[in-house]
Amino acid sequence: MTSTMKAAIYYGPRDLRVESVQVPEIGPNDILLKVKYCGICGSDVHGYGTGLYIRKGQIMGHEFSGEVVKVGHNVQGIRVGERGTGFYAGVCGTCFWCKSHQYTLCPDLFKNSTGYGLPGAFAEYVKIPNAIPGVSFHHIPDEIDDMTAATIEPVSVSAYTVELCQPEPGDQVVVMGAGLIGNVVMQVFKASSVEKAIVTEVSDLRLQAAIQSGADTVINAAKENVVQRLKDITGVGPYHFNEGAMADIVVDAAGAPSAVEQSFEIVRSGGTIAFVGLPEKKAQIDTTKIVHKMPKVIGALGGNFISSISLLKEGKVKTRHLVTHTYPIENVQEAFETQMDPHKSVKVMIEY
């Protein structure tokens, strides 16, 4: 194994450079993986395009699959040669939220986590510190191929989002946005036996992906009146001084201000809205709708890797068809530009 590797280094908005850097050194509690695939996440796109969530010199990438090539001598239950994925969350352990076991809310989470403060998997090798099976490292079952395995992390986010929404049989669900997260959120809802899963999106390519993924109905938000269509599909939902639609659950996976604003009209009074998309621009929210409709509003940050692997292994969620492009690390800038265009791509991956 060589001492250097190729990695994509962030220098500023829309400026990624592939350079030769040192392969990470591992300690007694760490492991090193040779990366097979790494997907471009929405947060990566925001970082690449605007500088959000990132600083100069960062190696991004946290949606990956790989093969273990080094194991620290204190690590238990992980062996060289096995396929795996993972995510190290670098929480402080001492703040109010860590002491309350709400680790996702730790203010230091993104300062010292894989692909954020720590080097990620847009590189030939990635280190997972403090590697613990079932926590920061997850074995990839034989039923899941390497490309699909690189979607385990975003599927985990989707699964966790649906868990937070607590769907019930008979629910009418609207998912806004049909990137990989939106497509998988819809699939997880369908696996939860909701009555109807509807997807809204501005990209025809992504709407076709949603149909292929099993959506009951799709709506082109660029060409149709979303609120009126959803009134027709889910029923009219009267509330104090106005009326909207009757969706029991609305998930915003688009992160567009218009989707955020529409979600409060689409949800029925007493329903649930979950926000998992990351807007780059602020939305204007009419809080009178929150007062009068009294929805449960949820921020969805985090994932459930165990559920994700189970869903993919059992075929309840499929993601291979959502990978529209793969690029070598040398073409990482082109890969990011492709991922930024929803009319050209759903999920773009770097392949090693």
Q: What is the reported pLDDT for 280?
A: 85
Q: Mind listing the pLDDT tens digit for each residue in 179-196?
A: 999 999 999 999 999 999
Query: What six digits make up the tokens of 316?
Result: 């309840």
Question: What value does the mean pLDDT take over residues 232-255?
Answer: 97
Q: What is the reported pLDDT for 53?
A: 87
Query: What six digits make up the tokens of 58?
Result: 């960062």
Q: What is the reported pLDDT for 88?
A: 95
Domain boundaries, the chain: 4-151+319-351, 156-299
Mean pLDDT score across all residues of the chain: 97
Counting beta carbons within 10 angstroms of the beta carbon of residue 240, is it exposed (0 to 12), middle (13 to 18) or buried (19 or more)?
Answer: exposed
Residue 281 has pLDDT above 90, yes or no: no
Q: Which residues pair with 22 in a beta bridge?
A: 4
Fold of 4-151+319-351: Quinone Oxidoreductase; Chain A, domain 1 (3.90.180)
In this structure, are residues 346 and 204 in contact, taking their beta carbons and an 8 Å threshold?
Answer: no
Whole-number Å distance between alpha carbons of 221 and 98: 40
Q: Which residues pair with 218 in a beta bridge?
A: 199
Q: Mind listing the pLDDT tens digit for each residue in 163-181?
A: 999 999 999 999 999 999 9
Q: Which residues pair with 4 in a beta bridge?
A: 22
pTM: 0.96
> What are the distances in angstroms from CA 276 to CA 7, 64, 135, 265?
28, 20, 22, 18
Torsion of CA 352, 314, 78, 98, to 10 degrees: 100
Give Cβ neighbours of residue 223 (< 8 Å, ≥ 6 apart): none
64: pLDDT confidence band, cut at 50, 70 and 90?
very high
Q: What is the reported pLDDT for 1?
A: 81
Task: Please name the helix (run of DSSP H) or strand (run of DSSP E) that holds residue 237, with its range, or none.
Answer: strand 236-239
Query: What six digits make up the tokens of 97?
Result: 């939220």
Residue among 167, 136, 182, 166 nearest 276 (CA): 182
Question: What value does the mean pLDDT take over residues 29-42?
Answer: 98
Whole-number Å distance between alpha carbons of 264 and 231: 13
Q: What is the reported pLDDT for 52?
A: 87
Q: What is the reported pLDDT for 223?
A: 97
CATH architecture of 156-299: 3-Layer(aba) Sandwich (3.40)
